[in-house]
Amino acid sequence: MGIKVKARQMKLAVGPSAGQYRFIMQADIYSTLKQDKVISEASLRSGIAKGTISATWEAIGDVIKNWATEGHSVPIPGLGTMRFGVRANAVEDVEDVSTSLITSRRVIFTPSTDIKQELKNTSINITCYDKEGNLIKQVNSADDGTVDEDPDDTGTDEEEDGNQQLG
């Protein structure tokens, strides 16, 4: 199995190529799994009763939510870590610092090296469609599997628009 990507020919509405057609790629989301399906599968794979896994799942979710709101970076077993952060405008004078500088609150997820390696090793299959929705080409990955490093991993980054990301 691999990651399925759709490349659709679409007319650009903004930017220097506005009005021109370009192939825009995006990952094809197969479906959103329901929590009950995940719990059932975990029960089958582990031999642990579904009710026990369900109670544990809820408890772990509550712990992660509570600890993250207290400022902790919380490990999610086998996946990575999650923490909360904000984006805020930068100011020169301490007298100007206030919560009004915060432009957004964010959930920051940092994947584990195992997850990054899994992504690197996963094939990508691209299906291309023209502007009428007709299939015109299929491509299988031949890339080196480069995985972007998340710029949020560094904690605070100055952005071009003067905003800072604070984790």
Nearest to 110 by CA among 140, 149, 142: 149
Nearest to 42 by CA among 60, 54, 30: 54
What is the model's pLDDT at position 156? Answer: 41
Q: What share of the chain is helix, strand, coil (3-state, %, to 5)?
A: 30, 35, 35
What is the model's pLDDT at position 32? Answer: 86
pTM above 0.75, yes or no: no
SS3 category, 79 = coil
What is the model's pLDDT at position 86? Answer: 94
Give the separation between CA 79 and CA 112, rounded to whole angstroms.
6
Q: Using CB atoms within 10 A of its CB, is residue 6 exposed (0-12), middle (13-18) or buried (19+)?
A: middle
What is the model's pLDDT at position 159? Answer: 40
Give the separation between CA 165 and CA 124, rounded to whole angstroms.
31
Give the separation between CA 74 and CA 58, rounded to whole angstroms.
15
What is the model's pLDDT at position 24? Answer: 93
Please state the domain extents for the chain.
3-32+71-166, 33-66
Per-residue pLDDT of the chain (167 residues; tens, 9 = 90+): 688 999 999 999 998 989 999 999 998 877 888 999 999 999 999 999 999 999 999 999 999 999 999 999 999 988 999 999 999 999 999 999 999 999 999 999 999 999 999 999 999 999 999 999 999 999 998 888 888 876 554 444 334 344 455 55
Give the separation between CA 33 and CA 36, rounded to whole angstroms.
8
